[in-house]
Chain A
């Protein structure tokens, strides 16, 4: 079982809708959680990160972590066509040279 599971989609929603992207993880050692956005043929861009459980809001984006259920969420309000991209969740234990563990990414399509 992969340590971070993410539905690859595609997820297609109409413009203006609230988007919910989710991941689950299995490693209890994970302490830091990130969301990256990747446009086609580009490197991933860090959107948000959170430490431990809780919510973090940045503009139209809200990241949520529930460590008790090992569940990571990203909400996008007032979705726009420019939000169409692949969204990757990632987790990290904080242990020195360890890398980030990524989900496979969810391909999101916002229909105009």
Chain B
């Protein structure tokens, strides 16, 4: 199957700092990328959908000024958690979709905010 990478896989940061997570589709062009958040033993929660070259569409309740999403190219999307707080600690997963109807997921990024 297609490969989607995420970097970093794990990050620990201090409260108040910003963290950037990268999501790359390695062998296909991702016209749409999705960002999810997942708490332990809980289901995926869609945060936002982004199409290359346009602004991301955020789900209700997700603060767009706190979770900045940039889909700069057909192979790269970034999620920046600004002024991170301990409650932002979670597992963040991106997925990417090209011309085929299904999406491929990245391996996830575990964020811990101290």
| Complex CA distance for A103 and B44, rounded to whole angstroms | 9
Across chains A and B, the number of contacting residue pairs, with CB separation under 8 Å, is: 58
| Complex CA distance for A32 and B97, rounded to whole angstroms | 13
A3-22 Cβ-contact flags toward B at 8 Å (1 or 0): 00000100000000000000
Taking the complex as formed, is A60 at the interface, i.e. its CB lies under 8 A from any CB of chain B? no
Taking the complex as formed, is B110 at the interface, i.e. its CB lies under 8 A from any CB of chain A? yes
Q: Are A92 and B93 in contact (CB under 8 A)?
A: no
B101-113 Cβ-contact flags toward A at 8 Å (1 or 0): 1111111101000
Q: Which one of B34, B57, B103, B107 has the greatest number of beta carbons of chain A within 10 Å?
A: B103
**In the complex, which of the residues B51, B57, B106 contacts A43, with contact meaning CB atoms closer than 8 Å?**
B106
Shortest distance between the CB of A25 and any CB in chain B (Å): 15
By a CB distance below 8 angstroms, the chain B residues around A41 are 91, 108, 110
Please, how many residues of chain A have a CB less than 8 angstroms from a CB on the other chain? 24
By a CB distance below 8 angstroms, the chain A residues around B34 are 99-100
Please, how many residues of chain B have a CB less than 8 angstroms from a CB on the other chain? 23
Secondary structure dominating the interface of B: strand
**In the complex, which of the residues A8, A92, A103 contacts B102, with contact meaning CB atoms closer than 8 Å?**
A92
Q: Are B102 and A46 in contact (CB under 8 A)?
A: yes
Q: Which one of A34, A41, A51, A103 has the greatest number of beta carbons of chain B within 10 Å?
A: A41
A23-50 Cβ-contact flags toward B at 8 Å (1 or 0): 0000000011010100001111110010
> B interface vs A, CB < 8 Å?
1, 4, 6, 32, 34, 43-44, 46, 49, 51, 57, 91, 93, 95, 101-108, 110
Could you give 21 example pairs across A and B, Cβ below 8 Å? A32-B101, A41-B91, A41-B108, A42-B107, A42-B108, A43-B93, A43-B105, A45-B1, A46-B1, A46-B105, A92-B101, A92-B102, A94-B101, A97-B32, A97-B51, A99-B32, A99-B49, A100-B95, A100-B102, A102-B44, A103-B43
> A interface vs B, CB < 8 Å?
8, 31-32, 34, 36, 41-46, 49, 51, 88, 90, 92, 94, 97, 99-100, 102-105
Closest 7 CB pairs of A and B: A43-B105, A104-B43, A32-B101, A43-B108, A43-B107, A44-B105, A49-B102
